[in-house]
Amino acid sequence: MGFRRIYHEDFWHILHTTNANDVGILIEGLDEWPDHSENLAMLVDRLDYWLNSEYTSWVTDPDDPEVKRRRAEQKRAGIKPPPQPMITPVAHRPRQVMDELVKELVTKTEQQKQEAPKRRFGTLADLRAMRGE
């Protein structure tokens, strides 16, 4: 009944006359996910990111020794924030769209981890050169 109400076609007729992938898309209702819905979902994602960032800045004391220690460790290790923020999709979306966005986020996160510089230990010759020997 819902299929006929939305698409004005009989489900069995569509099933036998249309490609299976297209039927799957119709069943999932992806054609009902217009651009303005995705824009609204992206806005919700960014507001969630902003609120979490603001909350962290509100409750984090920059003078706390633990915070200073972690920042110093990250600086020593050469860890920098990504050039673009990693925004996690939190808004409600169709399953396929959400799966695609999560895959993109995982790929970006893995790339960021691979680009992190490794800590390089100097050689004995470097140590001697620093000591002036």
**How do residues 7-41 score in pLDDT, each as one tens digit?**
677 777 777 787 777 777 666 665 677 788 889 99
How big is the chain, counted in residues?
133
Q: Is the CA virtual torsion 119, 123, 125, 130 positive or negative?
A: positive
**How do residues 105-133 score in pLDDT, each as one tens digit?**
999 888 877 665 666 667 778 778 888 87
**CA neighbor of 93 nearest in space, from 51, 53, 39, 49:** 39
Q: Tokens 């001697």 map to which residue?
A: 128
**How high is the pLDDT of residue 56?**
92
